Amino acid sequence: MSENCNHDCSACGSDCGDRTTPQSFLEELNPLSEIKKVIGVVSGKGGVGKSLVTSLLAASMQKKGYKVGILDADITGPSIPKAFGISGKAAGDGMYIHPMESESGIKVMSINMLLENDTDPVVWRGPLIAGVVKQFWTDVVWGNLDYLFVDMPPGTGDVPLTVFQSLPVDGIVVVTSPQELVGMIVGKAVNMASSMDIPVLGIVENMSYFECPDCHKHHEIFGASHVQEFADQYGISTVAKIPMKPELAALSDAGKIADFDGNWLSQMSEEVLEKLL
């Protein structure tokens, strides 16, 4: 303990043996931004549709009249700008970075907005990538937002840990697919959030089934759904299923994902709103 210790651990950055409260790693938001709620979209495995779910949830909230932004934390595999048809580069003023907006008014910040070419690879080590994610929080002028969605990379490594520790995350939405293997891996992400006292707001099973356009029968292409079993196991009350729809892929490729009017996440967005009140 330092001789000058005032016994206020919350304001101290020292990691001494007499610390009585956990050290906070939260980064301060810049004075030009005010964000009411931060929601992470996570999974333990890649390719299950986190960016799709992030886009659909953000669009759903925006259609309800809320001011929404998306922080694309998937630095090595960014896809949010493409889904919303956003091209060009984010502008800076010497102190802060200004996000770009979709046609519907959703603010977006992604590494692709800072690269010379969209296809330029980001070949960086973990600490540098984590530092960029922090800057997307501290140095981006988000303005006044009701909800900021954070599209996470898969796994439980540097970036998810950085987001959970550095941003005031109010809750997460977990994305999975029908395979039992994916459910097992996603469980790691749920347990990570639980260990850091971050609530799970809901779980979304993407590619849950295919609906025949003629007879409307549901076909479980990737096997029987396990999402309800998974939700029950971890005490997650809000569950949603997204079918395999060619229209979703087509709209994402065309940058028009906000135009899709499927209602699979409508109930989830309502329940998420209630949980965050």
114-158 per-position pLDDT tens digit: 998 888 999 999 899 999 999 999 999 999 999 999 999 888 888
Most confident of 28-32, 86-90, 209-213: 28-32
Nearest in space to 107 (alpha carbons), one of 57, 69, 62, 137: 69
Count of positions (residues) in the chain:
277
Dihedral angle computed from the Cα positions of residues 34, 78, 172 and 245, in that order, rounded to the nearest 10 degrees: 120
- Spatial distance between the Cα atoms of 261 and 28, rounded to a whole number of angstroms: 36
pLDDT confidence of residue 20: 57
182-196: pLDDT as tens digits: 667 778 888 999 999
Q: What DSSP character marks residue 23? A: P
DSSP state of 140: B
- DSSP state string for 215-276: T--EE-TT-S--HHHHHHHHT---EEE----HHHHHHHHTT-GGG----TTHHHHHHHHHHH
* The pLDDT of residue 38 is above 80: yes
More confident residue, 223 or 28: 28
**Per-residue pLDDT, 180:** 64
Residue 193, Cβ density class (10 Å: 0-12 exposed, 13-18 middle, ≥19 buried) = buried
Confidence band of 29 (pLDDT split at 50, 70, 90): very high
Tokens representing residue 260 in the block: 């899709």
53 to 16, 68, 70, 173, 187: CA distances (angstroms)? 42, 14, 12, 9, 18
Do 80 and 110 meet the contact criterion of CB atoms below 8 Å apart? Answer: yes
The model's pTM is 0.89
Which of the pair, 105 or 117, is modelled with greater confidence? 105
Mean pLDDT computed over every residue of the chain: 88
Q: pLDDT tens digits, residue range 48-92? A: 899 999 999 999 999 999 999 999 999 999 999 999 999 989 988
Q: What is the pLDDT of residue 2?
A: 53
Say if residue 109 is exposed, middle or buried (CB neighbours under 10 Å; 0-12, 13-18, 19+).
Answer: buried
User: What is the enclosing helix (H) or strand (E) of 36?
Assistant: strand 34-42
Q: How high is the pLDDT of residue 25?
A: 87
What per-residue confidence (pLDDT) applies to 184? Answer: 73
